[in-house]
Chain A
Amino acid sequence: MTKPFVAVQMRGISKSFGGVKALDNVDFEVFVGEVHALLGGNGAGKSTILKVLNGIHKPETGTIQVGDQYLTESHPKEARDAGVAMNFQEMSLIPTLSVAQNIFLTREAVSKLNLINDKEAVRQAKALFDTLQVDVDPNAMVGDLGAGQKQLTEIAKAISQNAKVLVLDEPSTALAVSDVERLFVFLRKLKEKGTAIIYVSHRMDEIIQIADRATILRDGKHVISAPISKLPIDKMIEHIVGKRSNGLADVTFSKASKGDLLLELQDVCGRYRPQKVDLKVHEGEIVGLAGLLGSGRSSLARIISGITPAQSGKIKIRGKSVNFRRPGDANAAKVALVPESRSTQGIIADHSVQSNVTMASLKQLTRYGFEIKQKSQSIVDAQIKRLSIKTASRDHAVVTLSGGNQQKVVIGKWLATMPDILVLDEPTAGIDIGSKSEIVALIRNLAREGKAIIMISSELSELLTACDRIVVMEGGRIFSDNPREYYNESSNPNDDPGRQLQAAEKHLQTEIQLAVKAQTRLESTNG
């Protein structure tokens, strides 16, 4: 092979935010025609270096070269003119504009009179989605779309720029498996045409599939850049977490004793989803909900926690029928939901750890309308200690914490209400592996205390590590409900835990695919 041509060269980049070094003398190099994975835990500096490359942040030191052009102005337009395109985890979409208008924002097709031609934009957007082989309506308002469709729009926007350097920051978090595969097929085509692709993901299996080389950052420093063939998953994880912690496979699986029946659903239906769900959860039991995006997992969670009332069916808690009309009803019945979107549904970022943790239990913490300071302080301190939340003090704003610790604040907020039933929707989304295994261990501890837990996660390894039972959903229905052991491979009991987990993951993956097939068949017979 001839010497590969360099598409991006960043040298000696340093950047601080309020005294904290986010990047410390980092070198980053991407070749033409390769998929380069950028890896690291939360706060490792991945987002920061990408924003520097994109001209959103101005580095204190260092040089940025794209192709043979030096970027000096630190302006998004300069980076784009040099051929850099990036998706920003839903941050570059305008909810009040249509899909097509968003994709071609600032690059609109114009007619002879220099007026914007939206029909042409719709046509081009359609063509783009056709090449990607995904189904998104170019006329739909972005604000009305679900997370997966938004993500596809975001990716289409980046791709439509025909960039020399395409940056995809966690492009697959909300995508169905089949869409991810189509995206990979497309990325391989782009790569052959000579596009340099920078790919950020927390999903190692994806990285192995698509990347040629990887660069790993940790705590704002460059750790290693190497071909992916020289970085097996355990090596990668080792570099990412440093000496802090091991992967999920090492979370000890201590079986909690199953107690009385706590939550029972009979024939529960939502407006669209879920459909006729029967589910029983006992004290000390963790039930995982697996399935693709749109399978009805989150809708079910919202019904159980009273955010959207059920349309029909029965919900019983300790044998007593309940009728939740609003979240407060569920909280009074000791049900708590740790919601899917941390930033919009979980925390108030600018408020202190204390005010976030006490937000859901203010009734117990006030007398005659005044907050009982000592009581709320001791409750907050107890949660900080119990969850080992890393914060300078309880008075620091939540925005100053890392993603994993922000998530712990949300969990702490709901634990402070002393729930019996805890529903966790994607509790580890977007946080690093170290914090992930910590949160999984925490969830197991909560079950041991006798709480009934329902956990939703798109990371199968996580469900398999945490749960006693795994329910597979598709199309709003429950496809199967099996104990965790069902997914064990009995033939090889002597394998190391990592291998066993991988085997179980494959098994569960297959089960989900079976559910999809069954649902498709069901839909086609129903017309």
Chain B
Amino acid sequence: MAESRTSKSHLFRVLIGDWRQNIIYIGFIVLFLIFAVTLSDKGFLNPNNLLNIIRQTAMIAVMAIAMTFVLSAGEIDLSVGSVAGLATVTVAMAIAIAGPIAGVFAGLATGLVVGMFNGWLTTRVGIPSFLTTLAMMGIAKGAAMWISDTAAVPILNQSYAWIFGGGSIGRIPVLLFWVLILGAIGHFALRRTGFGRRVLATGGGETAARYSGIDTARIKFRVLVLSSTAAALAGMLYAGRLQSGRFQLGEGDELSVIAAAVLGGTSLFGGKGTVIGTVVGAMMIGMINNGLILMGLEYSQQLIARGGIIILAVALSQKR
């Protein structure tokens, strides 16, 4: 009798309970269909437009994949946008001085250094990551403005530009491959590795995780390093796509990144996260932006409509 009760409740969960969990996918499809019908004469379904959405949201997606780990561990990283901006500058300057390979190293090093600093402040000094990364947001932006003298730094190396965001294979932009590969790695890392399970455990119940023998400080340190490194990579993609380094690149992205993860079903309170949801969430934000522009809304109206859609989606996904 007990057996039938559990299986019945399981079936119930799958049929009824899960629709809230899957709201992001349902919402994505519904919104896509709405745009496809209402904006068909404005070229929404035109392959070029769809590929453009991918080009515009790839960087958000890359940062949001790492942000999923940060949020799942119960932390937050507000510095990703500025770190991306800083990385565009360091990459562009390193390429100008020592070539593309040095540029890649400089970009990744930027992310690692910032991430380790964030992690150290959060886990050793004990400043909450909200404050650490809020401060780092200003520091990274200031550093980028300072070393570049607030001027754009051009990137003339074509192979760098091709690999990091500018190129395409046939009509498929290279950026799509970055998102798919990083998304797949992120998904497996969170769902199927010991590291991912420890991240979820740390965010789900820190005391319990510690009592289970998990070094929660080390986990938090690692997710913050991961996040800054992903932000630096996103910056490298910005730099490659636009063939220049500028401190304004990535400005304000942290909000879209966090929104993408939360839309996808990752909890701001930790313990719950899905990388696939995050990637779809990022694409959805890009699609909303694109659709609203095609509708001919003014920027002010776009902001309001975008905010409304995000609130609606997150509200629908809340458990009651």
CA–CA, A101 and B210, complex, Å: 15
Look across to chain A and name the residue whose beta carbon is closest to the beta carbon of B198. A106
Chain A residues with CB under 8 A of B270: 96
B97 within 8 A of A: no
A381 within 8 A of B: no
- B205 pairs with A94, CB closer than 8 A: yes
B208 within 8 A of A: yes
Majority secondary structure, B binding face: helix
Residue in A91, A105, A110 with the greatest tally of chain B CB atoms within 10 Å: A105
- A106 pairs with B213, CB closer than 8 A: yes
Contact string, B154-198, partner A, CB cutoff 8 A, digits 1/0? 000000000000000000000000000000000010011110111
Q: For A91, give its contact among B192, B193, B208 (CB under 8 Å).
A: B208
A158 CB, nearest partner CB in chain B, Å: 11
Q: For B194, give its contact among A97, A116, A135 (CB under 8 Å).
A: A116
Residue in B9, B211, B270 with the greatest tally of chain A CB atoms within 10 Å: B211
A56 within 8 A of B: yes
The number of chain B residues with a CB under 8 A from chain A is 29
A125 within 8 A of B: no
- B200 pairs with A94, CB closer than 8 A: yes
Look across to chain A and name the residue whose beta carbon is closest to the beta carbon of B215. A77
- A92 pairs with B197, CB closer than 8 A: no
CA–CA, A516 and B291, complex, Å: 62
Majority secondary structure, A binding face: loop
Chain B residues with CB under 8 A of A106: 194, 197-198, 212-214
Chain A residues with CB under 8 A of B194: 106, 108, 110, 116
- B197 pairs with A101, CB closer than 8 A: yes
CA–CA, A115 and B272, complex, Å: 19
B150 within 8 A of A: no
- A108 pairs with B211, CB closer than 8 A: no
Chain B residues with CB under 8 A of A156: none
A62 within 8 A of B: no
- A96 pairs with B193, CB closer than 8 A: no
Q: For B271, give its contact among A77, A88, A94, A108 (CB under 8 Å).
A: A94
Chain B residues with CB under 8 A of A80: 213
Residue in B198, B205, B210, B267 with the greatest tally of chain A CB atoms within 10 Å: B205
Contact string, A9-52, partner B, CB cutoff 8 A, digits 1/0? 00000000000000000000000000000000000000000000
Q: For A105, give its contact among B2, B9, B212, B267 (CB under 8 Å).
A: B212
CA–CA, A77 and B211, complex, Å: 9
- From known contacts A94-B200, A96-B200, A97-B200, infer whether A114 and B208 are also in contact, taking CB-CB under 8 Å: no
Contact string, A54-65, partner B, CB cutoff 8 A, digits 1/0? 001000000000
CA–CA, A105 and B207, complex, Å: 14
B207 CB, nearest partner CB in chain A, Å: 6
Look across to chain A and name the residue whose beta carbon is closest to the beta carbon of B209. A94
Seen from chain B, the residues whose Cβ lies within 8 Å of a Cβ on chain A are 2, 6, 9-10, 188, 191-194, 196-198, 200-201, 203-205, 207-214, 267, 270-272
